[in-house]
Structure 1
């Protein structure tokens, strides 16, 4: 019933209309898509990190709550439990009168050649899907790492004036961190599936992949 579909799934029907597809009469093409980040800034259940004054909460954090694959609605549990704990900790630290650590950054030299930010962003997304999608292997990830290194060098040389330029640089940094982390985990587990290592390695069952500023990814 089209009327019932439009009432319950208006956004879905609008997308079908744009693609000239009638879901009542034909199949709708689908593909997997990223849904939830289960890694991130290493943090305690209360959001605490080893950086003074910094709390990492929600999808940006890695508390270990989700393991290798988030269970349905576990993000709600994370929000209810970790959110309350983090809120209490933030309230306790709200009276902190010390000086926040100073952030020092170098302003890139003005480049005579501007990069095409939308084009590079689309390229990163496409390559991320191709080499770091549902299935990945060492050969593809090494090629992607090579591409990311080149793109990152180009992006770093540009003077960043718009949010999209900062977003691209952040995207490149996260993509590289994910790729390096996937390379060191030579097994398949949860949402991480390697064609060249399709089985679990029980010696790695309790291992977490971590990396820091300037430090290579490693299993701990």
Structure 2
């Protein structure tokens, strides 16, 4: 299967992408991983990405698309893939459609992980990270440490990352609503978008997603 996973920050995309890709025996293609891999290997695309990032700029759509294209053409993706973080806007979605058309393949589904905005803020703003090199993660509501502000594992100080602050999360949500959310409507017009409620246990969300994919496959 060829799947796109969409959802706001804090929806659990990374967790569900890994689980779904494993269940379906297809590669999980994350744009973040692609950027890091290309930069680490110093590929031509990686060099271009590093120049852009060092200048404090967002990566151009053309560069993101080129990296995704290169990854999707690797042998392990011949029978399918799960895209996580791409496409990020309608322009990228249109470019993906053109790319797939040249390869004579199509997407099977676009999974939209839906979670209330208040829950997104609670999930992200509640995270606390250990300052020691261990980087253990806790949550003030869902997995609090035994002693406030202290890591259960190594006794290190727990802190909130700057990009986990409520103000930053709200800004990230604004970017998601203006740039990424429109692709859901774009794919709805193609009959591909399926909304998956992302509240509840991780296993339950995975089950909902797999059932939705099965229904989509049966309907084709």
* TM-score, structure 1 as length reference: 0.27
**Larger Rg: 1 or 2?**
1
Structure with higher helix content? 2
Structure with more contact order per residue of length (Cα contacts < 8 Å, sep ≥ 6): 2
